[in-house]
Amino acid sequence: MSDRALTRILVVLPMYGGSLPVGRYCAKALAGLGHLVEVFEAPEFYGAFSALKNLRVTAQRLDYLEHAFLQTISQALLAKVETFEPDLVLAMAQAPVNRQALKRLRRDGVATAMWFVEDHQVFTYWQAFAPYYDFFAVIQKEPLVSRLAQAGVENVLYLPMAADPDIHRPVDLTPAERRLYGSDLSFVGAGYPNRRMAFRELFGFDLKIWGSDWDGEVILAPRLQLGGRRVSTEESVKVFGATKVNLNLHSSLDPAALAPPGDFVNPRTFELAMCGAFQLVSGRELLPEVFAPGEVAVFTDIKGLKEAAAHYLAHPGERAAMAARARARALKDHTYAARMQTLLDFVAARRPGFGNGVRREAGMADLPAGLREELSGLLGELGLPGDAGFADVVTAVRSRQGRLTELETAILFLDEWRKQYGGR
């Protein structure tokens, strides 16, 4: 075994929101690529953060308290960095990392990146934070890339959304599940104004609507499933598989924009494709770069949506062939593992020595011979390569759940002993 360290990556999740599951997919993908991954679980702070709003204090005092709370979370993140010693801190959109923490990480030589999986025109906080990240990945191109350059962000990467083939996959459904989740047309998502207006035009079809934020919707209420509660990922996958034509209408706050123009492709497009489900997706500027004609069906207005829905309901063979092509493309090009590899390659190309550092801790060669032999089996259990460094083994052992074995206890004891006396 050598003293060469694995690439350590700390994934920082947001406390809540759409990028939260994306962050978990990224952490899983990075671990699957063979990196040593830790997750900063910001959602664990969300309950306390939300409780601040129930204090019945003035808006000015609430703003102060929320700001102070976020500072505390950033300090917790820095403590995690100090312990884990990552090569890269990867923050998801809306992760609670303030500018002071980012400055500190840059000063300490820790690479930072954000995957901004948001519409930059709607969520404009990127303007205040992007210059403090070493690398900034986005799901849009121009004019965002130029605006980031003007703000002083040098390393910008276009990185579209993706899907996880272990989660988003074809599933076998029972007859009861097909009756519950199945329909000619379905939609999974929130009740944005443009979706409410568009789906009111589809009363001639067997349509089911799944998801939350449809409050106050009277006309579509009979089509709303499960009382309008949020649908889990597992339930979504079943809906995708049971539906003949899955509708994928990108959101807009403008009810007049029934099929809103736009550039980025939403995650649902990749998830439906990975599930092997047929979809009708609203046209997007960047869609042809990720799916070719014949892999997904596209509409640009309500008339086109209704005509396409009728056509494909009458031609199941076409639906099946397109869905199969879309799944093949998604598996080949659009996994989170592929996205994370692209990101790491981008970082490595612009940061000499990234991921190739040798840690100061002594290597396995310094351990007693008997302990080295016992470690061979443990490395496999931990998912570490045979040349993993001692510090990487310690980190992996600390992250395990359950009762420690005698060997794991010995490793942690040795680590503590070396911290106390190794430098003397």
Q: What residue segments make up the domains of the chain, in order of their start?
A: 8-162+336-350, 175-333, 364-421
Percentage, residues of the chain above pLDDT 90:
71
Given a cut of 50, is residue 130 above it in pLDDT?
A: yes
Q: How far is CA 316 from CA 187, 241, 294, 312, in A?
A: 19, 14, 14, 6
| Phi/psi at 310 (5° precision) | -65, -40
pLDDT of residue 360: 41
pLDDT of residue 364: 55
Given a cut of 80, is residue 424 above it in pLDDT?
A: no
How many other C-beta atoms are found inside a 10 Å radius of the C-beta of residue 293? 9
Banded pLDDT at 292 (limits 50, 70, 90): very high
341-361: average pLDDT: 80
pLDDT digits (tens, 9 = 90+) for 300-319: 999 999 999 999 999 999 99
Percentage, residues of the chain above pLDDT 70:
88
Q: Which of 171-175, 252-256, 389-393 has the highest mean pLDDT?
A: 171-175
| CATH 3.40.50.2000 correct for 8-162+336-350 | yes
Compute the distance between CA of residue 159 and CA of residue 139 in angstroms, rounded to an integer. Answer: 5
Contacts of 114 (CB under 8 A, 6+ apart): 90, 91, 92, 93, 95, 129, 130, 133, 135, 136, 137
pLDDT of residue 3: 38
Given a cut of 50, is residue 4 above it in pLDDT?
A: no
Given a cut of 50, is residue 361 above it in pLDDT?
A: no
- The least confident of 244-258, 292-306, 348-362 is 348-362
Which has more pLDDT, 378 or 192? 192
Given a cut of 50, is residue 127 above it in pLDDT?
A: yes
Banded pLDDT at 5 (limits 50, 70, 90): very low
Which has more pLDDT, 27 or 253? 27
pLDDT digits (tens, 9 = 90+) for 392-408: 777 777 766 667 787 77
Which has more pLDDT, 354 or 310? 310
Please report, as a single letter, which amino acid is at residue 35: H
253-280: average pLDDT: 90
- The least confident of 30-39, 238-247, 317-326 is 30-39
Given a cut of 80, is residue 388 above it in pLDDT?
A: no
322-341: average pLDDT: 97
Q: Which CATH architecture has domain 175-333?
A: 3-Layer(aba) Sandwich (3.40)
pTM: 0.83
Task: Examine domains 8-162+336-350 and 175-333 and report if their fold is the same.
Answer: yes
